[in-house]
């Protein structure tokens, strides 16, 4: 299968405030996102740093949050020069930690698969997965900060939030999220079915392999079937399934989404959920 993902790269690179080796202070009690970049000390880390910075994935998330979400106590996104392949939410220090090693590790995993992609396409795909992983961790953080009680796994609740955040972030660069979705989901299934246990475990442990029938997307589609028609198509939802999602959404007012609604600002994509 020839899977090609189109990506828009923001070429304008802002000035960078280095975090250095100093201990990361806990953020003040503000409804904001702080972004910190440690100075890379290795060549591979420096390459990853510039790739991440050019996509502006953290800055786009901060823009969406400022416009749409009141984040209790704020949050720091901290890019670190670690030898570990880390990307995780640390609720003790109130930060999402992203290692520069995470991106080249994803590229290495993709190259182990027979995806019929050029090195440049693999690089862009790895950047996209990194962005998705970052938004997933932010979604987990928001569930934690909102003291949300839910039944099932955190991933079932985090995936819909991630998808809306990804859509809103893509709007900043005029990227059509839904146009890429079918190809993106096809790639995740090829990874899941690769027959390489190490590869599959790497992606599953990071919550990056949503499985058919993609029930996690149902609440998003049900909130507005017209706006999210592209999502329904990309996830192969039938008309009958879309109707059932509308019904499920109307019946979920007392669920996790309702618990988060006080954090969503009015007249926004998240506020309309």
pLDDT digits (tens, 9 = 90+) for 67-91: 888 888 889 999 999 988 889 999 9
Domain membership flag for residue 11: no
Q: What is the mean pLDDT of the chain?
A: 76
Domain membership flag for residue 76: yes
Q: Rounded to 5 degrees, what angle do the CA atoms 180, 172, 174 make?
A: 45
50 or 223, which is more confident?
50
Number of separate domains in the chain: 1
Domain membership flag for residue 54: yes
Determine whether 3 is exposed, middle or buried from the number of CB atoms within 10 Å of its CB (0-12, 13-18, 19+).
middle
Residue 253 gets which letter from DSSP?
A: T
Q: How far apart are CA 109 and CA 122, in angstroms?
A: 10
Whether pTM > 0.95 for this model: the answer is no
91 or 148, which is more confident?
91
Q: Residue 170's domain spans which residues?
A: 33-263
Q: Is 199 left (phi over 0), alpha (psi -120 to 50) or beta?
A: alpha
Phi, psi of 98 (to 5 degrees): -125, 115
pLDDT digits (tens, 9 = 90+) for 208-236: 666 667 777 787 788 788 888 888 887 88
Q: Across residues 101-117, what is the average pLDDT?
A: 83
Domain membership flag for residue 207: yes
259 or 150, which is more confident?
259
Domain membership flag for residue 248: yes
Confidence bin at 206 (pLDDT 50/70/90): low
Q: What's residue 263's pLDDT?
A: 81
Domain membership flag for residue 18: no
> DSSP string of 94-138?
TEEEEETTHHHHHHHHHHTS-----HHHHHHHHHHHHHHHHHHHH
Confidence bin at 241 (pLDDT 50/70/90): very high
Domain membership flag for residue 3: no
Domain membership flag for residue 17: no
């Amino acid at each position: 299968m020839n899977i090609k993902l189109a990506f828009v790269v923001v070429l304008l690179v802002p000035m960078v405030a280095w975090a250095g080796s100093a201990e990361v202070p806990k953020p003040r009690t503000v409804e904001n996102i702080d972004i910190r970049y440690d100075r890379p000390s290795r060549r591979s880390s420096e390459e990853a740093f510039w790739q991440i910075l050019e996509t502006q994935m953290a800055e786009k998330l901060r823009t969406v949050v400022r416009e749409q979400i009141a984040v209790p106590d704020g949050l720091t996104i901290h890019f670190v020069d670690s030898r570990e392949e880390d990307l995780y939410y640390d609720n003790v220090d109130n930060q999402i930690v992203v290692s520069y090693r995470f991106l080249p590790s994803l590229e290495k995993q993709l190259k182990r698969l027979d995806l019929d992609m050029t090195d440049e396409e693999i690089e862009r795909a790895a950047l996209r997965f990194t962005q998705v992983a970052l938004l997933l961790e932010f979604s987990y953080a928001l569930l934690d900060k909102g003291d949300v009680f839910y039944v099932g796994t955190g991933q079932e609740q985090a995936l819909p939030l991630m998808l809306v955040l990804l859509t809103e972030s893509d709007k900043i660069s005029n990227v059509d999220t839904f146009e890429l979705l079918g190809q993106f989901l096809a790639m995740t299934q090829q990874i899941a079915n690769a027959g390489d246990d190490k590869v599959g475990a790497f992606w599953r442990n990071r919550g990056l392999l949503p499985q058919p029938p993609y029930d996690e997307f149902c609440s998003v589609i049900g909130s507005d079937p017209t706006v999210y028609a592209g999502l329904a198509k990309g996830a192969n939802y039938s008309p009958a399934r879309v109707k059932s999602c509308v019904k499920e959404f109307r019946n979920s007012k007392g669920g996790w989404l309702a618990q988060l609604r006080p954090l969503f600002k009015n007249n926004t994509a998240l506020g309309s959920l």
